[in-house]
Amino acid sequence: MLSDSRRDAGHSGPPRVEVVDLDRTHLAGLMAASILRRNLARPRGAALAGRLRGVVAVDAGGMRFAIEFGDDAVRIRVGDCERPRLRVRATLGALLDAALGRGVAVAFLRGRLRMRGNPLLALRLLPLLRADG
Protein backbone atom coordinates (compact mmCIF):
# COMPACT_ATOMS: atom_id res chain seq x y z
CA MET A 1 0.00 0.00 0.00
CA LEU A 2 1.32 3.41 -0.94
CA SER A 3 -0.19 6.41 0.72
CA ASP A 4 0.05 10.17 0.64
CA SER A 5 0.15 10.45 4.40
CA ARG A 6 3.23 12.65 4.48
CA ARG A 7 1.60 15.27 2.26
CA ASP A 8 -1.62 14.92 4.27
CA ALA A 9 0.30 15.49 7.49
CA GLY A 10 1.29 18.92 6.20
CA HIS A 11 5.07 18.40 5.95
CA SER A 12 6.95 20.69 3.62
CA GLY A 13 10.36 20.41 1.98
CA PRO A 14 12.11 17.23 0.95
CA PRO A 15 12.13 14.38 3.45
CA ARG A 16 15.44 14.16 5.22
CA VAL A 17 17.58 11.06 5.19
CA GLU A 18 18.87 9.88 8.52
CA VAL A 19 21.38 7.19 9.22
CA VAL A 20 20.62 5.53 12.53
CA ASP A 21 23.94 5.05 14.35
CA LEU A 22 26.24 6.39 11.66
CA ASP A 23 29.42 4.96 13.19
CA ARG A 24 28.01 1.42 13.05
CA THR A 25 26.63 1.64 9.55
CA HIS A 26 28.40 -0.41 6.92
CA LEU A 27 29.49 0.70 3.50
CA ALA A 28 26.32 -0.42 1.70
CA GLY A 29 24.10 1.48 4.12
CA LEU A 30 26.23 4.60 3.88
CA MET A 31 26.24 4.49 0.11
CA ALA A 32 22.48 4.02 -0.04
CA ALA A 33 21.99 6.93 2.33
CA SER A 34 24.22 9.14 0.22
CA ILE A 35 22.35 8.29 -2.98
CA LEU A 36 18.96 8.73 -1.34
CA ARG A 37 20.00 12.07 0.13
CA ARG A 38 20.99 13.40 -3.27
CA ASN A 39 17.88 12.07 -4.96
CA LEU A 40 15.57 13.40 -2.30
CA ALA A 41 17.10 16.85 -2.70
CA ARG A 42 15.60 16.87 -6.21
CA PRO A 43 11.89 17.64 -6.62
CA ARG A 44 11.16 14.42 -8.49
CA GLY A 45 12.90 12.26 -5.92
CA ALA A 46 11.30 14.10 -3.03
CA ALA A 47 7.87 13.65 -4.56
CA LEU A 48 8.52 9.96 -5.12
CA ALA A 49 9.79 9.39 -1.58
CA GLY A 50 6.98 11.46 -0.13
CA ARG A 51 4.50 8.91 -1.41
CA LEU A 52 6.34 5.89 -0.03
CA ARG A 53 5.72 4.38 3.36
CA GLY A 54 6.96 1.28 5.07
CA VAL A 55 10.19 -0.64 5.31
CA VAL A 56 12.37 -2.07 2.58
CA ALA A 57 14.92 -4.70 3.59
CA VAL A 58 18.13 -4.75 1.58
CA ASP A 59 20.82 -7.41 1.52
CA ALA A 60 23.83 -6.16 -0.43
CA GLY A 61 26.26 -9.05 -0.69
CA GLY A 62 25.47 -9.97 2.90
CA MET A 63 25.43 -6.40 4.24
CA ARG A 64 21.91 -5.94 5.50
CA PHE A 65 20.03 -2.77 6.15
CA ALA A 66 16.54 -1.39 6.21
CA ILE A 67 15.22 1.70 4.49
CA GLU A 68 12.34 3.08 6.51
CA PHE A 69 10.11 5.53 4.70
CA GLY A 70 8.38 7.47 7.45
CA ASP A 71 6.31 10.59 7.79
CA ASP A 72 9.15 12.85 8.74
CA ALA A 73 12.23 11.14 7.36
CA VAL A 74 13.76 8.28 5.48
CA ARG A 75 15.90 6.26 7.84
CA ILE A 76 18.68 3.80 7.13
CA ARG A 77 19.18 1.23 9.83
CA VAL A 78 21.72 -1.58 9.67
CA GLY A 79 20.59 -5.15 10.25
CA ASP A 80 17.65 -7.24 9.25
CA CYS A 81 14.02 -6.36 9.81
CA GLU A 82 10.82 -8.30 10.13
CA ARG A 83 7.92 -8.04 7.72
CA PRO A 84 9.30 -5.54 5.25
CA ARG A 85 7.06 -4.52 2.38
CA LEU A 86 9.85 -5.36 0.02
CA ARG A 87 13.01 -7.41 0.21
CA VAL A 88 15.90 -6.69 -2.13
CA ARG A 89 18.74 -9.14 -2.26
CA ALA A 90 21.74 -8.81 -4.54
CA THR A 91 25.45 -9.21 -4.81
CA LEU A 92 27.34 -6.05 -4.02
CA GLY A 93 28.45 -5.81 -7.63
CA ALA A 94 24.90 -6.15 -8.93
CA LEU A 95 23.64 -3.45 -6.59
CA LEU A 96 26.44 -1.10 -7.57
CA ASP A 97 25.61 -1.78 -11.21
CA ALA A 98 21.95 -1.10 -10.53
CA ALA A 99 22.85 2.17 -8.81
CA LEU A 100 24.87 3.10 -11.87
CA GLY A 101 21.91 2.21 -14.09
CA ARG A 102 23.59 -0.77 -15.70
CA GLY A 103 22.46 -4.29 -16.27
CA VAL A 104 19.46 -4.40 -13.96
CA ALA A 105 17.51 -6.70 -16.27
CA VAL A 106 20.48 -9.03 -16.76
CA ALA A 107 21.10 -9.12 -13.02
CA PHE A 108 17.47 -10.16 -12.50
CA LEU A 109 17.69 -12.85 -15.12
CA ARG A 110 20.92 -14.23 -13.70
CA GLY A 111 19.60 -14.20 -10.16
CA ARG A 112 22.16 -11.70 -8.96
CA LEU A 113 19.37 -9.31 -8.05
CA ARG A 114 16.17 -10.55 -6.44
CA MET A 115 13.13 -8.80 -5.09
CA ARG A 116 10.28 -10.14 -3.06
CA GLY A 117 7.21 -8.25 -1.93
CA ASN A 118 5.34 -5.29 -3.30
CA PRO A 119 6.28 -4.89 -7.00
CA LEU A 120 4.84 -1.38 -7.21
CA LEU A 121 7.06 -0.33 -4.34
CA ALA A 122 10.01 -1.88 -6.13
CA LEU A 123 9.26 0.16 -9.24
CA ARG A 124 9.12 3.37 -7.23
CA LEU A 125 12.15 2.55 -5.14
CA LEU A 126 14.57 1.73 -7.93
CA PRO A 127 14.88 5.31 -9.30
CA LEU A 128 15.59 6.52 -5.76
CA LEU A 129 18.54 4.17 -5.52
CA ARG A 130 19.98 5.21 -8.86
CA ALA A 131 23.10 7.37 -8.52
CA ASP A 132 21.87 9.69 -11.23
CA GLY A 133 18.23 9.19 -10.32
Partner 1 sequence: MSLRAAFAGALPAHRVFDDEPTLDCFADDLTEEEPSRPGIVLFPETVEEVRAIVLAAGRARAPLTVRAAGTNVAGLAIPSPGGAVVDLSRMDRIVEIDAAEMYAVIEPGVTWAAMKIALDAIDPPLRLGYPLSPPHTGVLANCLLDGLGNLSLRHGSMGEWLAGVEAVLPDGTIVRTGSAAASASWCSRGPLPDLTGLFVGWQGATGIATKGAVRLWPAPPLRERSFILAGDRGSAFQAMRLLARTTLCDDIGGLSWPTGRMLFGAARPTGRDSNEPEFFVYVDLTAETERELDLKRRRLHGLLDGLRAAGRRLERPLPVADLVRLEPAFSRFADFPMALDFLYRHPGGGLTWVGTYGPCSRFEEAADRVAPLMDAAGFPPALVSRPMAGGHFGVLRMLARFDRGDPAERRRVREMNRSVLAAVLPLGFLPYKCPPWALPLLREALDPGFAALLERVRAAIDPAGIMSPRCWRF
Q: Which helix (H) or strand (E) holds 68?
A: strand 63-69
Of 25, 58, 86, 90, which one interacts with partner 1 (CB under 8 A)?
A: 25
> Which one, of 83, 80, 9, lies nearest residue 50 by Cα?
9
Applying CB under 8 A, which part among 10-18, 22-30, 41-49, 115-123 lies near partner 1?
22-30
Query: Residue 110 interacts with partner 1 (CB under 8 A)?
Result: no
Q: Which phi-psi region, left, alpha or beta, contains residue 34 (left: φ > 0; alpha: ψ -120 to 50)?
A: alpha
Residues 31-50 that bind partner 1 (CB under 8 A): 31, 33-35, 38
Instruction: Build a one-symbol-per-residue string for 45-84: x at contacts with partner 1 by CB under 8 A, - elsewhere.
Output: ----------------xxxx-------------x------
Question: Cβ atoms within 10 A of the Cβ of 78, count?
Answer: 17
Decide if 85 contacts 115 (C-beta within 8 A): no
By the criterion CB under 8 A, which residues form the site for partner 1? Answer: 22-28, 30-31, 33-35, 38, 61-64, 78, 92-93, 96, 99-100, 131-132
